[in-house]
């Protein structure tokens, strides 16, 4: 919604005084006039072993290539280039264990040693350029080493979030034909062990491709090791194969860097492909400008490395800028709801990037918890994943940021790889709006016919220009790439979000306009949850919708048609919820399940989720003329 009377929040004096870019309007104007010159200048701040011949080649649009002819490697810029200068002994990573008893720190020099060691191990196990390695690890430094080690030798990483279950993991490993998987014996979740190794064993039991499983010791839990397939990482590193230098492979700018599976409207999750060259330029520049990141900063992105935020703004963006990052293994409320605040105080965090759902859940515990801590090291805050409601925005701004720290509400997607709509530190902010398009980008809000809607009206959000960190397609599925993103409004990238633009050009994201649900900022496709429900023996057919939820943003509500004779009891509902947790992920568990006789469908057999949603919300169900009369 665009509120009637918006309280514009001007930047504090200290922000203005320190700003690296005091006049983002002027820079935005220059970048707007010549986006390619802007991006070429950003790219030139990084190292390339061969210069690019062209900034952008759009001759085969929507298959765009950025910096064709150029050769580079994101690791060269994220790690190697810092070793030659004063950052060599600067901390790249500070990590704290969930129980707080363990701290591990890595300078850039030490990070390079770890990455080199893992890269040597991967190479010795036969991993080479273009091979896809699946990584299923907890929030521990090894997940960074693994991702960087893959990139260093030209392999492609495919990280699967540590909370996914065996079925979801198997689908992703099989689809990417990984020969090697990196995992851990277990992970810590609120004081207990999640058996990662057991989950992976189940996922790869009949895998036609996986030859080796590298296991990092984390929890010390008892696990079964297959003597032919499984290797303790700790054992491998003591072998001669792990020793010695490992060159960083010069890659073509367009060579793939990673795959990341994400949910879409329909069907199986899609593998988003990102490439070395453009991705490094986009994440480098956005981190630099939007977080105004500096050498003296201590930066904390709370997102798990398993999500795109953990890739672009956890790992790569900060390292490309030579920043010091903080990583915490645990969650915000264990053992008490002051956990994050105490870490910010203790480690002197200056930039803190998190999600609205976390802010809302911490808000519920009251400000007494953060008020016990000195949070004055903070200078800038960030939010991502879903719209932030003004109430949460103000709490974050006042209680956490002391009224002094600007909040960068950054809108972007797994597909975009980098921020597309976001404020700049010195920009006056409107709580609840993600600000304006990033340098070089323009957006529009369109109606069904492709006309721009009047100022302030809601419509489909599209991006008008290509950008360097854009995804290079869907793995092995060009047609789906074209159909999903580029067909509805030719020439424009369809975001799938609904939005409004106000008279100052500030964008207000309403939410997904498709069948994607954002639960606590996690992206979940209705089709995946429905498929998991359908696999329960008592369910004939299921439909799920996202309903507004005070803390999670959206919650999943399900409808199920049961097999004849099944008893629609509370116990069965609970069993189906558990089934979804086990077969997909606990984050995809429906909050409620209604048992129904049938589901409303169109004549062509598509489930009309819009009708179910309207009914659940007690709203007018609208035009039902295309509905199947039998249903
Ligand atoms: C939503 C996460 C409002 C949006 C980086 C988008 C947001 C989807 C914001 C992508 C924001 C992300 N304000 N909505 N600042 N950031 N979204 O791929 O609906 O997990 O389409 O990427 O998150 O989710 P994804």
**What does the pLDDT average to over 537-551?**
96
| Distance in angstroms between the alpha carbons of the first and the last residue of the chain | 34
Q: Tell me which residue has its CA closest to atom 6 in ligand 1.
A: 413
Ligand 1, atom nearest to 309 Cα? 5
Helix residue spans in 226-298 (DSSP H) = 233-236, 276-290
Using a CB cutoff of 8 Å and minimum separation of 24, what contacts does 118-121 make? Answer: 118/142, 118/145, 118/146, 118/148, 118/149, 118/233, 119/149, 119/150, 119/152, 119/153, 119/246, 120/241, 120/242, 120/243, 120/244, 120/246, 121/149, 121/214, 121/233, 121/236, 121/237, 121/241, 121/242
pLDDT tens, residue by residue, 461-472: 999 999 999 999
Q: Tell me which residue has its CA closest to atom 15 in ligand 1.
A: 411
* DSSP category for residue 10: P
H or E stretch including 94?
strand 91-96
Please give the residue range of the domain that contains residue 564.
515-617
Ligand 1, atom nearest to 409 Cα? 15
Q: Is residue 521 part of a domain?
A: yes
Instruction: Grade residue 626 by pLDDT with cuts at 50, 70 and 90.
Output: low
Q: Is residue 137 part of a domain?
A: no
Token duo for residue 321:
């800028």
The 3-class secondary structure across 322-372, one letter per residue, is: CCEEEEECCCCCCCCCCHHHHHHHHHCCCEEEECHHHHHHHHCCCCHHHHC
Distance CA(350)–CA(72), nearest Å, equals 31
Q: Ligand 1: distance of its center to the CA of 432 in Å?
A: 13
Q: Is residue 602 part of a domain?
A: yes
pLDDT of 623 above 70: no
Q: Is residue 528 part of a domain?
A: yes
Q: Ligand 1: distance of its center to the CA of 413 in Å?
A: 5
Q: Ligand 1: distance of its center to the CA of 320 in Å?
A: 23
Rounded to 10°, the helix 35-43/24-33 angle is 110
Q: Tell me which residue has its CA closest to atom 12 in ligand 1.
A: 385
Q: What is the dihedral of CA 356, 556, 623, 625, to 10 degrees?
A: 150
CA separation (Å) from 195 to 70, 101, 200, 460? 43, 21, 9, 42
pLDDT tens, residue by residue, 551-578: 999 999 999 999 999 999 999 999 999 9
Q: Tell me which residue has its CA closest to atom 20 in ligand 1.
A: 523
Q: What's the number of domains the chain is made of? A: 1
Q: Tell me which residue has its CA closest to atom 4 in ligand 1.
A: 386
Token duo for residue 50:
């061969």
Q: Ligand 1: distance of its center to the CA of 262 in Å?
A: 12
pLDDT tens, residue by residue, 340-387: 999 999 999 999 999 999 999 999 999 999 999 999 999 999 999 999
Q: Is residue 369 part of a domain?
A: no
**What does the pLDDT average to over 66-74?**
98
Distance CA(181)–CA(148), nearest Å, equals 15
- This complex has an ipTM of 0.99
Q: Is residue 577 part of a domain?
A: yes
Q: Is residue 500 part of a domain?
A: no
Q: Ligand 1: distance of its center to the CA of 445 in Å?
A: 16
Q: Ligand 1: distance of its center to the CA of 385 in Å?
A: 4
Helix residue spans in 355-446 (DSSP H) = 356-363, 368-371, 390-395
pLDDT of 625 above 70: no
pLDDT tens, residue by residue, 104-141: 999 999 999 999 999 999 999 999 999 999 999 999 99
The dihedral built from the CA positions of residue 201, 147, 273 and 262, taken in this order, carries a sign that is positive
Give the binding-site residues of ligand 1, using a 6 Å CB cut-off: 262, 308-309, 384-387, 409-414, 434, 495-497, 509, 511-512, 518, 523
Q: Is residue 556 part of a domain?
A: yes
Question: Domain containing 537 — which CATH number?
Answer: 3.30.300.30
The dihedral built from the CA positions of residue 595, 599, 600 and 606, taken in this order, carries a sign that is positive
Q: Ligand 1: distance of its center to the CA of 357 in Å?
A: 12
pLDDT tens, residue by residue, 280-335: 999 999 999 999 999 999 999 999 999 999 999 999 999 999 999 999 999 999 99
Instruction: Grade residue 629 by pLDDT with cuts at 50, 70 and 90.
Output: very low
Q: Tell me which residue has its CA closest to atom 7 in ligand 1.
A: 386
């Amino acid at each position: 919604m665009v509120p009637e009377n918006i309280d514009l929040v001007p930047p504090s004096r200290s922000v203005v005084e320190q700003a690296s870019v005091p006049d983002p309007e002027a820079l935005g104007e220059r970048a707007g006039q010549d986006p390619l010159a802007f991006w070429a200048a950003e790219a030139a701040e990084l190292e390339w072993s061969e210069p690019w011949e062209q900034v952008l080649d759009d001759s085969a649009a929507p298959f765009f290539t950025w910096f064709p002819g150029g050769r580079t490697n994101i690791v060269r810029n994220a790690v190697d280039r810092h070793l030659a200068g004063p950052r060599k002994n600067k901390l790249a990573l500070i990590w704290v264990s969930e129980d707080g008893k363990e701290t591990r720190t890595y300078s850039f020099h030490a990070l390079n040693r770890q990455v080199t060691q893992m890269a040597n191990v991967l190479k010795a196990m036969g991993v080479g350029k273009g091979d896809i390695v699946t990584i299923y690890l907890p929030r521990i430094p090894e997940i960074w080493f693994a991702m960087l080690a893959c990139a260093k030798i030209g392999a492609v990483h495919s990280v699967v979030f540590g909370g996914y279950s065996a079925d979801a993991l198997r689908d992703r490993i099989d689809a990417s034909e990984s020969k090697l998987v990196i995992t851990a014996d277990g992970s810590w979740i609120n004081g207990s062990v999640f058996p990662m190794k057991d989950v992976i064993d189940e996922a790869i039991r009949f895998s036609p491709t996986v030859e080796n499983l590298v296991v990092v010791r984390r929890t010390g839990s008892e696990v079964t090791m297959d003597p032919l397939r499984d290797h303790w990482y700790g054992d491998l590193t003591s072998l001669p194969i792990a020793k010695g230098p490992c060159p960083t492979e010069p890659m073509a700018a367009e060579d793939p860097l990673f795959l990341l599976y994400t949910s879409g409207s329909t069907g199986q999750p899609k593998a988003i492909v990102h490439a070395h060259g453009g991705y490094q330029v986009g994440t480098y520049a956005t981190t630099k400008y939007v977080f105004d990141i500096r050498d003296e900063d201590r930066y904390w992105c709370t997102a798990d490395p398993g999500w795109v935020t953990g890739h672009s703004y956890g790992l790569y963006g900060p390292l490309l800028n030579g920043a010091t990052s903080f990583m915490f293994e645990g969650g915000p409320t264990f053992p008490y709801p002051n956990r994050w605040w105490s870490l910010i105080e203790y480690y002197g965090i200056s930039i803190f990037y998190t999600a609205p759902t976390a802010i809302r859940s911490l808000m519920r515990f009251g400000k007494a918890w953060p008020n016990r801590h000195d949070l004055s090291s903070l200078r800038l805050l960030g939010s991502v994943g879903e719209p932030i409601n003004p109430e949460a925005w103000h709490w974050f701004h006042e209680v956490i940021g002391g009224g002094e720290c600007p909040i960068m509400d950054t809108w972007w997607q797994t597909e975009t790889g980098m921020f597309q709509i976001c404020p700049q530190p010195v920009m006056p902010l409107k709580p609840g709006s993600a600000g304006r398009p990033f340098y070089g980008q323009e957006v529009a809000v369109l109606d069904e016919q492709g006309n721009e809607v009047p100022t302030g009206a809601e419509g489909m959000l599209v991006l008008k220009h290509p950008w360097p960190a854009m995804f290079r397609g869907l793995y092995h599925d060009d047609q789906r790439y074209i159909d999903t993103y580029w067909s509805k409004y030719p020439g424009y990238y369809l975001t799938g979000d609904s939005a409004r633009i106000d008279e100052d050009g500030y964008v207000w994201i309403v939410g997904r306009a498709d069948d994607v649900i954002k639960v606590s900022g996690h992206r979940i496709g209705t089709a995946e949850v429905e498929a998991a429900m359908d696999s329960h023996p008592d369910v004939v057919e299921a439909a799920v919708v996202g309903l507004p939820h005070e803390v999670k943003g959206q919650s999943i509500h399900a409808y199920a048609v049961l097999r004849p004779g099944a008893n629609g009891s509370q116990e069965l509902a609970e069993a189906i919820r558990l089934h979804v947790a086990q077969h997909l992920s606990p984050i995809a568990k429906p909050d409620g399940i209604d048992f129904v006789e049938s589901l409303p469908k169109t004549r062509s057999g598509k489930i009309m989720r819009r009708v179910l949603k309207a009914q659940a919300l007690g709203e007018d169900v609208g035009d039902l003329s295309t509905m199947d009369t039998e249903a």
